[in-house]
């Protein structure tokens, strides 16, 4: 075993972890002791990271905060929220700044987040090799070097693109001798190892490479979750983990059919064989299923090719295949119109069309259909933006039972939807309902998000406020009307 790998194992052993060979998966991270739900299994700063939108200042280059941003006056690409973050990044950005400042305006436009991520990685490697900045067992280029690139499985068009991107990196860093083939391989590593850095509400902020965390394998029924505070990655246990248990996170959105999940995982060049993927045919039928013709029946339809129909698996009532196709086509045409209205910023008209779609889908799809759920999520966002809180609350309430069905109990999406619903209830002065939802949100999010972030402190503050209000109303004899 290489010296750096031994150092990594020693460092991880101190955290109750080990890198082990997992049958059918290659390397994986394994618990060497017990972890309780909500406990941090591992946390890591990125080896390299960049905000999503580098030209407009979407977030601070160091802490990923979004307020009080100022552009670097020299390169005019980097953004910082204050002098403290600028100083933290200075050794790295000094070199990057010189390189970017030497570019023509045309070449600056070619500086995508992925290109910038590579430039930062190369400069960090250079500074660590020169001992200008510190390295450690979990923060060194050897860990990046050990990541799987899957380059032999990449198609020719993508290989050409990686080669072009490598040449652009050479133009940005002409003073550093680079191996263009190695850089192309590293771009391929980005594609299957980099993580999207999100805010506490899971909105994407940027991309980071976290080499130690990249050792963790995927499962559609994960026992841990990866979330971020600023740009720092935290992996927390979602359930009790015993010694010798492999730690797993989800690389993709898991509220989807097996086929959709497997398609989403193609970029990682493996097929998931977790328990859910092996036995989920009935759940798939439910998630993409049509509803029974009998509105009182909660069964879902299965294709009956012999009759050119769909038959309810519960009561055996059939729907004609042509009828199903006709309604599906009508929904598709309306969806194109609604999407066009939404993209042009016409939220009010888009909301009206999506309402018609939702009514059609309610009669057409099963109540747990992912298609119907996505329509209601869109309506929730539209009416939140329109500040029509009552309508937004109606759609948010409708999503809750589906979230509880398609996600495990301690999943950040479940907790965040409880939180959104609770805030809407509070805004509309349905105080007792708000208290129930905020309590449920806190129960989930303290596991997934921890308790120390500003986001969680705000949640706990709202919860205490709701408790106090409910206590006051009970003591004064007031009743809630909702």
Confidence check: pLDDT of 475 > 90: no
List the Cα angle 386/390/395 in 5-degree steps: 85
Confidence check: pLDDT of 250 > 90: yes
379-383 mean pLDDT? 98
pLDDT digits over 158-217, tens only? 999 999 999 999 999 999 999 999 999 999 999 999 999 999 999 999 999 999 999 999
pLDDT digits over 298-309, tens only? 888 888 766 788
Tokens of 410: 């301690």
427-438 mean pLDDT? 96
Confidence check: pLDDT of 36 > 60: yes
**Cβ distance 298 to 367 under 8 Å?**
yes
16-26 mean pLDDT? 93
**Cβ distance 400 to 418 under 8 Å?**
yes
pLDDT at res. 287:
86
pLDDT at res. 185:
96
Q: Which residue has the higher pLDDT, 461 or 1?
A: 461
Helix (H) or strand (E) holding 224: strand 224-229
Tokens of 185: 């391989």
CA dist., res. 275 & res. 255, Å (int): 15
CA dist., res. 391 & res. 368, Å (int): 20
Q: What is the CA radius of gyration of the chain?
A: 25
Phi-psi region of 266 (alpha: psi -120 to 50; beta: other; left: phi over 0): alpha
CA dist., res. 371 & res. 289, Å (int): 9
Q: Where are the alpha helices (DSSP H) in 20-112?
A: 83-101, 105-108
**pLDDT level of residue 55 (50, 70, 90 thresholds):** low
pLDDT digits over 440-465, tens only? 999 999 999 999 999 999 999 999 99
Axis crossing angle, helix 370-385 with helix 389-406, rounded to the nearest 10: 150
Q: Which residues contact 110 (CB under 8 A, 6 or more apart)?
A: 168
């Amino acid at each position: 075993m290489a010296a750096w790998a031994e150092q990594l194992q020693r460092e991880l052993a101190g955290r109750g972890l080990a890198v082990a060979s997992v049958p059918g998966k290659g390397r994986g991270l394994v618990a060497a002791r017990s972890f309780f739900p909500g406990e941090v299994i591992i946390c890591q700063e990125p080896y390299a990271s960049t905000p999503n939108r580098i030209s407009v200042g979407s977030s601070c280059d160091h802490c990923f905060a979004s307020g009080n941003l100022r552009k670097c006056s020299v390169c005019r690409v980097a953004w910082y929220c204050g002098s403290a973050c600028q100083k933290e990044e200075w050794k790295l950005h000094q070199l990057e700044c010189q390189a970017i400042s030497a570019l023509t305006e045309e070449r600056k436009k070619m500086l995508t987040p992925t290109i910038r991520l590579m430039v930062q990685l190369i400069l960090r490697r250079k500074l660590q090799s020169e001992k200008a900045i510190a390295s450690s067992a979990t923060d060194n280029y050897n860990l990046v070097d050990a990541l799987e690139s899957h380059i032999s499985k990449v198609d020719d068009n993508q290989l050409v693109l990686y080669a072009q991107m490598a040449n652009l990196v050479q133009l940005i860093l002409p003073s550093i001798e680079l191996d263009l083939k190695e850089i192309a391989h590293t771009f391929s590593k980005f594609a299957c190892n980099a993580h999207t850095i999100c805010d506490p509400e899971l909105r994407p902020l940027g991309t980071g490479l976290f080499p130690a965390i990249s050792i963790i394998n995927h499962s559609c029924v994960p026992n841990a979750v990866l979330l971020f505070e600023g740009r720092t990655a935290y992996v927390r246990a979602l359930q009790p983990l015993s010694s010798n248990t492999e730690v797993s996170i989800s690389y993709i959105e898991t509220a989807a059919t097996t086929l959709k999940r497997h398609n989403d995982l193609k970029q990682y060049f493996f097929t998931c064989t977790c328990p859910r993927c092996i036995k989920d045919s009935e759940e798939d039928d439910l998630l993409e299923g049509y509803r029974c013709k009998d509105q009182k029946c909660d069964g879902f339809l299965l294709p009956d090719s012999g009759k050119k129909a769909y038959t309810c698996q519960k009561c055996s009532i059939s729907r004609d295949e042509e009828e199903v196709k006709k309604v599906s086509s009508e929904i598709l045409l309306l969806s194109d119109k609604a999407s066009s209205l939404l993209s042009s910023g016409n939220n009010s008209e888009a909301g009206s069309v999506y309402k018609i779609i939702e009514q059609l889908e309610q009669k057409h799809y099963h109540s747990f259909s992912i298609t119907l759920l996505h329509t209601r999520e869109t309506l929730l966002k539209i009416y939140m933006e329109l500040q029509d809180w009552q309508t937004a609350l109606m759609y948010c309430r409708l999503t809750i039972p589906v979230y509880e069905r398609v996600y495990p109990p301690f999943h950040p999406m479940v907790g965040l939807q409880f939180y959104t619903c609770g805030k809407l209830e509070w805004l509309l002065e349905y105080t007792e309902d708000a208290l129930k939802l905020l309590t449920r949100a806190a129960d989930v999010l303290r596991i997934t998000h921890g308790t120390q972030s500003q986001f969680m402190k705000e949640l706990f503050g709202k919860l205490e406020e709701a408790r106090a209000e409910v206590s006051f109303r009970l003591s004064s004899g007031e009743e809630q009307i909702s």
